[in-house]
Amino acid sequence: MEINRLDHLVLTVKDVAHTCNFYRDVLGMEVVTFGNNRKALLFGHQKINLHEKGHEIDPKAASPTCGSGDLCFIANTPVEQVLEELQAKNIAVLEGGIVERTGATGKIRSVYFRDPDNNLLEVSNYIL
């Protein structure tokens, strides 16, 4: 077996509409409706499907829980500008600002913050 890429992942959330607004307004993702009025967040060639806690779609994770996600997004926007945008939107930034980490293919500079369900979000740029 050879895996090519991640197509989508699922987040379990308390309030789908609130989550959609956050990811659209803060991260610039596109909110799409599919299937039986389900919601997803589209970015690049991937998406995040949303399940409302208590109304998950089968099959599902064994223990779907709000706030258990830890996601890293690679941005085209310079991480300095990402930090400025988060601060302008009064989003609490963790770790004191921009930090160096290691991504899938090399070193990255990252900003950490949380979404409305307390999932940890990391927005990064690769160091060239």
Residue 2 appears among annotated catalytic residues: no
As a whole number of angstroms, the distance between CA 16 and CA 91 comes to 19
- For residue 120, the cross-strand partners are 70, 114
From the number of C-beta atoms within 10 Å of its C-beta (0-12, 13-18, 19+), residue 118 rates as exposed
Place of tokens 């919601």: 39
3-state helix vs strand vs coil in the chain, percent to 5: 15, 40, 40
Cβ atoms of 117 and 11 within 8 Å: the answer is yes
User: Among 30, 80, 85, 122, which one carries the catalytic annotation?
Assistant: 122
Catalytic residue set:
122
